[in-house]
Amino acid sequence: MSVKEYLTIEDIDLSGKTVLCRLDLNSPMTPDNRILDDKRFRSSLNTLKELDDSKLVLMSHQSRPGKSDFTTMEPHTQRLSDLLDRDLIYVDSIFSSGTVSEIKKLGNGDIMMLENVRFFSEESLKRSAQEHATSHMVKRLSPFIDVYINDAFAVSHRSHLSIMGFTWLLPSIAGRLMEKEIHSLSKGCYGSEGMCLYVLGGTKVDDSLKVVKHVLSNNMADKVLLTGVVANVFLAAKSGNIGKLNMDFIKSQGYADQILQAQKLIKEFDNRIGLPKDVALDKNGERIEEGIDELGKNTNVDLYIHDIGLETIVSFSEEIKAAQTVIMNGPAGVFEKDAFTLGTVELIEAATQSQFSVIGGGHIAAAVEQLGMESRIDHVSTGGGACIDFLAGEKLPGIEALKDSAVKYRAK
Ligand code: 3PG
């Protein structure tokens, strides 16, 4: 993709302008609201530092409605302030009259953070740029904004309001992080020679199922290896018995319907979907290895699956090392718990030995960093689902909206 399909920071004089910058600061958090990993913050700094002569309004989301870490942007403001070593203004609303008067008061070099955009329910509607442009949020804020920047690659696979709506009305450009992601990921799997392997884990089962279907049916991956909760859904689809606790967890996350989808995928692509042969169960923090065939048979012992088992770690690692390109997204298990880090660590280690490795963002990127392995991976993306969709050759709505806006801007 040519960078000049969309505008970048050089293309518009931003000095003295009021700039609305959409970041993705969505990060893992502790139950008492502390940010556990600030990779996305650090990745946004280049853009923010270049805008030190603008009046900067920042916008981000944290988590999703209903989740325990769906919280305000106050801790995020503080973390950014620490990283930039300067004060930031935080307002606890998105487009109230108080917020608008704060925006009007901004001076050159000021930075202001708006509240979590997902507190506004229309944010998460899937709409076109033109439809979102009619929302209250866009109508209320855009008269006070000169330029919109999308530096939120990680959420640009969602056609959400704050990603699309402003691009319809305002000159819109890609931030530095967005540019870097597009540039690095363009060298990735899509269209590459040799064995291409996707290794999908974590808890976002709905996103992963879409990827499995897309990359296998379009021959963009030779094979997909599954770990984490995604694998549990496929194991349930195959054998029907992964233990009551694990089934209840899948249901509690709203993924019961995905079991049927997984069954269809297994039927269509059976030998191209690699599932764990064994798992590690969590018995009061202790790691208990169990073969898949034994799972759920002993009804007196019902334990959570918290990692892939040793045999699976060995066989998946061999496949990963032999691949030309490895795209890995989502941890293999609950790697935050000491006894269950093994699968995630070993699969990342194997990926460093493949020809070209990409790690999707979120929890697995945090693991790579904690392990000090970032320099041995070709690209650690800030995007999870966005990275996967991009590599699968899908058009990301946020990037498409920037391209459309560039065409409009140039025509003026
Ligand atoms: C992510 O963490 O992948 C992005 O912030 C997008 O979050 P979402 O999957 O809740 O839309």
Name the residue among 81, 386, 391, 27 with its Cα closest to residue 221.
391
pLDDT band at 343, cuts 50/70/90?
A: very high
Across residues 129-148, what is the average pLDDT? 98
State the distance from the centre of ligand 1 to the C-alpha of 320, rounded, in angstroms: 26
Checking if the pLDDT of 74 tops 90, the result is yes
Predicted confidence at residue 88, as pLDDT, reads 98
State the distance from the centre of ligand 1 to the C-alpha of 112, rounded, in angstroms: 22
Range name among 48-62, 141-155, 164-178, 207-221 with the lowest pLDDT average: 207-221
Q: Which fold has domain 3-178+395-411?
A: Rossmann fold (3.40.50)
State the distance from the centre of ligand 1 to the C-alpha of 242, rounded, in angstroms: 28
Using a 10 angstrom Cβ sphere, with 0-12 exposed, 13-18 middle and 19 or more buried, the burial of residue 28 is middle
State the distance from the centre of ligand 1 to the C-alpha of 288, rounded, in angstroms: 32
Predicted confidence at residue 300, as pLDDT, reads 67
pLDDT band at 188, cuts 50/70/90?
A: low
Q: Work out the number of other CB atoms within 10 angstroms of the CB of residue 410.
A: 10
Range name among 30-34, 49-53, 255-259, 297-301 with the lowest pLDDT average: 297-301
What are the sequence ranges of the domains in the chain?
3-178+395-411, 192-381
Checking if the pLDDT of 191 tops 90, the result is no
Predicted confidence at residue 37, as pLDDT, reads 85
Q: Does residue 158 line the site of ligand 1, with CB under 6 A?
A: yes
Checking if the pLDDT of 234 tops 90, the result is yes
Checking if the pLDDT of 152 tops 90, the result is yes
The alpha carbon of 119 is separated from its chain's Cα centroid by a whole number of angstroms, namely 19
> How far apart are alpha carbons 246 and 236 in whole angstroms?
9
Kindly state which CATH superfamily the domain 192-381 is placed in: Phosphoglycerate kinase, N-terminal domain (3.40.50.1260)
Residues 6+ apart with CB under 8 A from 411: none
Residue 326's H or E segment, with its range, is strand 325-329
Q: What is the chain's mean pLDDT, rounded? A: 93
* pLDDT single digits (tens) 347-372: 999 999 998 899 987 778 888 988 89
Q: Does residue 23 line the site of ligand 1, with CB under 6 A?
A: no
Checking if the pLDDT of 262 tops 80, the result is yes
Q: Does residue 155 line the site of ligand 1, with CB under 6 A?
A: yes
Ligand 1 atom 6, closest CA: 155
Predicted confidence at residue 317, as pLDDT, reads 98
Q: Does residue 388 line the site of ligand 1, with CB under 6 A?
A: no
Q: E strands within 88-201?
A: 89-90, 111-113, 147-150, 172-174, 196-200
Across residues 11-29, what is the average pLDDT? 96
Across residues 235-242, what is the average pLDDT? 90
Ligand 1 atom 7, closest CA: 155
pLDDT band at 190, cuts 50/70/90?
A: low
* pLDDT single digits (tens) 5-18: 999 999 999 999 99
Predicted confidence at residue 83, as pLDDT, reads 98
DSSP track, 345-374? HHHHHHHTTSSEEEE-STHHHHHHHHTT-G
Range name among 2-6, 198-202, 345-349 with the lowest pLDDT average: 2-6
* pLDDT single digits (tens) 265-315: 999 999 999 999 999 999 999 999 999 998 878 766 789 999 999 999 999
Percentage of residues in the chain with pLDDT exceeding 90?
81
> How far apart are alpha carbons 335 and 340 in whole angstroms?
5
Checking if the pLDDT of 189 tops 60, the result is no
